[in-house]
C-alpha cells in the first residue's frame, strides 16, 4: 500500500477536500489491512478515475482507496469477462474490441472504472432497450466491512447485490465483476443523424422511432427559445456489420475490428472559463447548423460513444470555479413538465454547453439505481454564477413534482430531502447497508451531505 495526503474533487472540480489516498491491490486488502485503514473514525471510500461529477468519491479527513487495475479474463465461449474493479472501460475496450466484443453498456466516457460502473449503475444510449450496467452482471467479488472477501450473485445474496448496484460504494469495495458482453463484427457504428426543429418534434421522433435502434441520444440546444425551443440533433445507430462495411466500400473492411481511440491535445491548467452564454450560443448555432438534416453514415466507437474523450481534461474549460452536471429523470407521462423545465433553463440565462436527452427503459433492480422509465435530461452549468442556486432549487422542485429523481453519480448540489423524495426504496437500502456495515466504515463526502450514513 502507498498512502499520501491528497486534495480530491469530482470531475466538476467543485468542493475539493483533503484525504489520505491509498493505492493498493485486492490482494493487500486483507482483514488486517482493512483495519489499518480506519482507526481515525472518518471511514473509507473507494475511488476510480474521479469521473463522478460531485463528491461521491471524496472523503475529507478520511481514507480513499484506489485499486490497481487487475486482470481481464475473457471467456469467449460464455460471452463474459471477469475484470478487476480498477480496470477502466478504456483498458477493457482496448482488450475486447479487437476480439469482437463490446461492453453491454457504455456511458459518455471510457475513463470510468468497472468498480465505478457498478457502484453508479451506469447507463448509456441503449438503456431504452438494454437497461443499465447492473442488468448485465453475473457475479461480484466484494470486500466487506468485516474484512471478508465474498463472491456474490443476484441469487446468492439478493439484498446485498441490489444494495451494491447503484449503491455508490457504500456497501463495500468492489474487487472484480463478471460481465455479459455484446458480440460485434466491427469497431464502427452505422449512425443516423438528423436535425430536429424543436422539443415537441424531438419527443415525437424518439417516441415513434427509438425502438428501431440499439442506441439513441439527442443533443438539445438550451439557449434557443420561441419556436426553436429545444431544437436538437438526434443521433441513433448500432454496431456496423461486415456486410454494411462492404456495402459502403469502407476501408475498414480490411481490419474491421481495429481500434485506436486516439486523443487530441488536452486543455491546460489555469484555463479561464471559456463557456460564457455568448460563447455557448455561438457554439450551439454552429453545432445545429453543421448537423445534416437527415444522414446515414459510419462513425468510430470513439466518435459515436465518447467524443469528449478526444479532448484531455475538457472539464478545465469551465475555469477555476468548475461546473455542475445536473441529471434527472421524469416519467414519460410528465412530458409537459420536461418542457417546462427546458423553458425554465432557457429563461434563466444559464447556458448549458452540453445538454443531452435520452429515453430510459425498465429499472435494473438496484435500490439506489437512477434509471427508471422516462425522459432523462443532462445539463452542464458553470459553477458560481449568480442565481444558479435558485435555478437548481426550482428544477429540484419541478423534478420531484413530476415524480422524478436525480442521479447520485452526477449530483453536487441536492439535499437529503430531495434524494429521499426521489428514491422510495432508500429506507430499505439503509437497512441492508447498516446490516453489512454496522459501524459505518464506508463513507463519502456525498454520503454525509445527503444523510446516506
CATH number of the domain within which 89 lies: 3.30.465.10
Same domain assignment for residues 160 and 145: yes
Contact 164, 141 (CB under 8 A): no
Does one domain contain both 207 and 321?
A: yes
Q: What is the pLDDT of residue 35?
A: 66
Is the domain of 117 the same as that of 257?
no
Separation in Å, CA 229 to CA 39, 147, 221, 328, 354: 55, 54, 8, 19, 15
Range of the domain at 95: 72-184
Same domain as 193, residue 173: no
pLDDT of residue 38: 63
Q: Are 227 and 333 within one domain?
A: yes
Residues 79 and 206 in one domain: no
Are residue 301 and residue 354 in the same domain, yes or no?
yes
Is 434 a domain residue? no
Same domain, 104 and 205: no
DSSP structure class, residue 13: -
C-beta separation of 326 from 378 below 8 A: yes
Residue 292, pLDDT score: 85
Asked whether residue 275 falls in the same domain as residue 142, the answer is no
Blockwise average pLDDT, block size 10, the chain, 453 residues:
94 96 87 66 94 97 95 98 98 98 97 98 98 98 94 98 98 98 98 97 98 98 95 98 94 93 83 87 86 92 94 92 96 98 95 93 97 98 93 98 98 97 98 96 97 96
Residues 99, 136 share a domain: yes
Q: How far apart are CA 397 and CA 410, in angstroms?
A: 17
Residues shown for the chain? 453
Do residue 94 and residue 231 come from a single domain?
no
Q: Are 192 and 251 within one domain?
A: yes
- Determine, yes or no, domain membership for 407: yes
Question: pLDDT, tens digit, for every residue of 159-190?
Answer: 999 999 999 999 999 999 999 999 999 999 99
How far apart are the C-alpha atoms of 214 and 418, rounded to whole Å?
32
Q: What is the pLDDT of residues 363-418, one digit of tens each?
A: 999 999 999 999 999 999 999 889 999 999 999 999 999 999 999 999 999 999 99
The answer to whether residues 363 and 372 touch, using CB atoms and an 8 Å cutoff, is yes
445 within some domain: no
Radius of gyration, alpha carbons of the chain: 21
Which of 370, 379, 362, 358 is CA-nearest to residue 216?
358
**pLDDT score at 378:** 98
- Pairing status of strand 355-360 against strand 215-220: antiparallel
120 φ/ψ sector (left φ>0, alpha ψ -120 to 50, else beta): alpha
Cell 463557456 locates to: 275
- Per-residue pLDDT, 291: 86
Q: Please tell me what DSSP assigns to residue 93.
A: H
Its sign, for the CA torsion 244, 247, 248, 253, is positive
Question: pTM for this structure?
Answer: 0.96
The tally of domains found in the chain comes to 2
Of 184, 206, 229, which marks where a domain is finished? 184
Amino acid at each position: 500500500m502507498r498512502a499520501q495526503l491528497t486534495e480530491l474533487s469530482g470531475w466538476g472540480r467543485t468542493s475539493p477536500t483533503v484525504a489520505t489516498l491509498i493505492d493498493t491491490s485486492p490482494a493487500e486488502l486483507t482483514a488486517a489491512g482493512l483495519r489499518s485503514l480506519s482507526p481515525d473514525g472518518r471511514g473509507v471510500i473507494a475511488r476510480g478515475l474521479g469521473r463522478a461529477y460531485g463528491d461521491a468519491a471524496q472523503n475529507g479527513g478520511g481514507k480513499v482507496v484506489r485499486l490497481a487495475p487487475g486482470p481481464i479474463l475473457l471467456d469467449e465461449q460464455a460471452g463474459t469477462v471477469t475484470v478487476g474493479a480498477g480496470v477502466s472501460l478504456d483498458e477493457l475496450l482496448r482488450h475486447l474490441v479487437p476480439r469482437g466484443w463490446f461492453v453491454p453498456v457504455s456511458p459518455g466516457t471510457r475513463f470510468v472504472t468497472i468498480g465505478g460502473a457498478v457502484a453508479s449503475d451506469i447507463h448509456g444510449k441503449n438503456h431504452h432497450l438494454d437497461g443499465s450496467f447492473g442488468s448485465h452482471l453475473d457475479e461480484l467479488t466484494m470486500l466487506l466491512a468485516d474484512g471478508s472477501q465474498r463472491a456474490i450473485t443476484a441469487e446468492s445474496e439478493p439484498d446485498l447485490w441490489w444494495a451494491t448496484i447503484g449503491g455508490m460504494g457504500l456497501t463495500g469495495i468492489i474487487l472484480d465483476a463478471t460481465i455479459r458482453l455484446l458480440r460485434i463484427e466491427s469497431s464502427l457504428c452505422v449512425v443516423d443523424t438528423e436535425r430536429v426543429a424543436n422539443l415537441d418534434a424531438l419527443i415525437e421522433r424518439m417516441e415513434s422511432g427509438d425502438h428501431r435502434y440499439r442506441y439513441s441520444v439527442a443533443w438539445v440546444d438550451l439557449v434557443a427559445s420561441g419556436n426553436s425551443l429545444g431544437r436538437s440533433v438526434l443521433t441513433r445507430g448500432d454496431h456496423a456489420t461486415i456486410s454494411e462495411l462492404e456495402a459502403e466500400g469502407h476501408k475498414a473492411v480490411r481490419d474491421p475490428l481495429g481500434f485506436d481511440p486516439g486523443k487530441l491535445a488536452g486543455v491546460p491548467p489555469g484555463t479561464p472559463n471559456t463557456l460564457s452564454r455568448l460563447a455557448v450560443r455561438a457554439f450551439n448555432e454552429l453545432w445545429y447548423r453543421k448537423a445534416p438534416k437527415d444522414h446515414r453514415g459510419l462513425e468510430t466507437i470513439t466518435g459515436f460513444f465518447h467524443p469528449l474523450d478526444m479532448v484531455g481534461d475538457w472539464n478545465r474549460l469551465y475555469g477555476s470555479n468548475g461546473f455542475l452536471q445536473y441529471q434527472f429523470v421524469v416519467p414519460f407521462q410528465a412530458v409537459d413538465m420536461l418542457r417546462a423545465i427546458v423553458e425554465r433553463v432557457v429563461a434563466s440565462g444559464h447556458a448549458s454547453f452540453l445538454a443531452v436527452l435520452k429515453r430510459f427503459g425498465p429499472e435494473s433492480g438496484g435500490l439506489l439505481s437512477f434509471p427508471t422509465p422516462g425522459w432523462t435530461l443532462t445539463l452542464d452549468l458553470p459553477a458560481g454564477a449568480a442565481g444558479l442556486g435558485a435555478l437548481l432549487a426550482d428544477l429540484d422542485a419541478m423534478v420531484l413534482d413530476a415524480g422524478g429523481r436525480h442521479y447520485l453519480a452526477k449530483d453536487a448540489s441536492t439535499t437529503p430531502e430531495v434524494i429521499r423524495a426521489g428514491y422510495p426504496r432508500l429506507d430499505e437500502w439503509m437497512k441492508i447497508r447498516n446490516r453489512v456495515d454496522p459501524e459505518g466504515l464506508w463513507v463519502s463526502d456525498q454520503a454525509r451531505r445527503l444523510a446516506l450514513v
